[in-house]
Chain A
Amino acid sequence: NAGVTQTPKFRILKIGQSMTLQCTQDMNHNYMYWYRQDPGMGLKLIYYSVGAGITDKGEVPNGYNVSRSTTEDFPLRLELAAPSQTSVYFCASSWGGASSGNTIYFGEGSWLTVV
């Protein structure tokens, strides 16, 4: 079972460049999330989506954009990369809201370095 798949796994960006982190899930989940995790720190929610066409900001949305045109895909766009965006990015999904007892499934992470 594929679950949540993220690409690329590693990427080095120069300051000011843009890129898209891809995320796809094959579990027909409604909810999808993007988190970032700085070294030694906890997870911070960037954006989330509760279904195709519906997205909302999380705790740290500045410098990022998302779209959700299909149930399966939830790409994260970094515009004008900055060193502060050096982090590990995790995509995740759940069938319904986590507080209602739905398990969140995470991808393996994407390591991004901005130099």
Chain B
Amino acid sequence: LAKTTQPISMDSYEGQEVNITCSHNNIATNDYITWYQQFPSQGPRFIIQGYKTKVTNEVASLFIPADRKSSTLSLPRVSLSDTAVYYCLVGANSGGYQKVTFGTGTKLQVIP
């Protein structure tokens, strides 16, 4: 199983760039890496996904090194509304099915 490890929490001031790294040493060849964002009292929502190298969308960038054993979510110029828990997700095959488990996530607190 591709278990993920992330920092439990991070603090950042408004306007700064935030980088959250996730380790997934046992990632399978065909696995994608996906990041989700969860606000209090809401279900997680998709932020960004990648397989290798760099992916950028209107919300974030995702950096994946060649060995794919880690990935870094980059949030440019964070604001107070970016305060949330961020989950790194790497799927795992179990008996032929893709059992999807989330790690503990990283709680990002943006400070004014």
Query: Taking each of B28, B32, B46, B99, which has the highest tally of chain A beta carbons within 10 Å of its own beta carbon?
Result: B99
Q: By the criterion CB–CB under 8 Å, are B100 and A45 in contact?
A: yes
- Minimum C-beta distance from B88 to chain A (A): 11
Binding site for B on A (CB under 8 A): 4, 31, 33, 35, 41-45, 48, 50, 56, 58-59, 88, 90, 92, 94, 96-101, 103-109
- Give B34's nearest chain A residue, CB to CB: A98
Which secondary structure dominates chain B's binding surface? loop
Q: Are B91 and A98 neighbours in the complex by a CB distance under 8 Å?
A: yes
**Chain B contact residues, CB within 8 Å of chain A:** 2, 28, 30-32, 34, 36, 41-46, 49, 51, 85, 87, 89-95, 97-105
Cross-chain pairs A/B with CB under 8 angstroms, 24 sampled: A41-B104, A42-B85, A42-B103, A42-B104, A42-B105, A43-B102, A56-B94, A56-B99, A90-B43, A92-B43, A98-B89, A99-B91, A99-B92, A99-B93, A99-B98, A100-B30, A100-B91, A100-B98, A101-B32, A103-B46, A104-B46, A106-B43, A108-B42, A109-B43
